[in-house]
Structure 1
């Protein structure tokens, strides 16, 4: 079993799996914004990752660290965005908390300064 049936990510195509341990699983995003864009989820299904107990939350962040290393080796990116959309207002569309690990490459956007601040374009620029 990779994910419980109540997960909106179930069933999961096994060819998309990047990493798995007893508590977490990581797989390529179905709609990637960059090569290697991966989602890391707990096998404990909660709407928000912040509803996880301490053990599962720690395991999830350890999985993020391992996935980042795997993606660095495979894709050789120049940086990463690590992100969580927590709640519908924040853009969460799947009710199973997850963390995006997004490899970034020089030239993938004209000016990457500000990173996630560009959610609010009128407030992004602070330099």
Structure 2
């Protein structure tokens, strides 16, 4: 990592050993979420400690999106999900609790929720349902 910040769960991952890592390249890594919302829920994380996706360099963004594709293929083989949600909480007001950029890759399975329509629109529940 180019910088290390104390008390950052993601900055500590590489220094705590590679056993938690599933995939890795020069700019980032993929690991399973410690508090998954579905089987196989994982995170693509930048090596460099920056809080916003918009602070990443073009090289970092390209790398993280490549890791996202590789992670999807890995999850397809391991868990065979039916679909995916991909999300970034960018800023505290958007729900970001760890100020280190990371992309959630959430496998979805048929029947995991009663009605999956709207997906990430449910971030603001009172505005999510536009079809009724």
User: Would you call these one fold, judging by a TM-score over 0.5?
Assistant: yes
User: 1:58 is matched with which residue: 36, 58, 62?
Assistant: 62
Matched residues in 1 for 2:82 and 2:3: separation? 34
Please report how far the alpha carbon of residue 3 of structure 1 lies from its aligned counterpart in structure 2 after TM superposition. Answer: 8.2
Root mean square deviation, CA, Å: 1.6
- For residue 51 of structure 1, report the CA deviation from its aligned partner: 0.1
Q: How does 1:2-13 map to 2 (within 5 A)?
A: 5-6=4-5, 8=8, 9-12=10-13
- Whole-angstrom CA distance in 2 between matches of 1:17 and 1:64: 14
Distance in 1 separating the partners of 2:124 and 2:51? 24
With normalisation by structure 1, the TM-score equals 0.92
Q: SS at the partner of 1:11?
A: helix
Residue 11 of structure 2 aligns to a residue in which SS?
A: coil
**How many residues are paired up?**
126
TM-score, structure 2 as length reference? 0.88
Rounded Cα–Cα distance in structure 1 between residues aligned with 2:101 and 2:120: 18
Write the distance in 1 (CA, Å) between the matches of 2:3 and 2:21: 15
Following TM superposition, the consecutive aligned residue runs of length 4 or more in structure 1 with deviations greater than 4 angstroms are none
Q: Report 1:25-36 matches (<5 A).
A: 25-36=29-40
Note the residue ranges of structure 2 that are not aligned, 5 or more in a row. Answer: none
Select which of 41, 59, 69 maps to 1:37: 41
2:50 to 39, 43, 46: 46
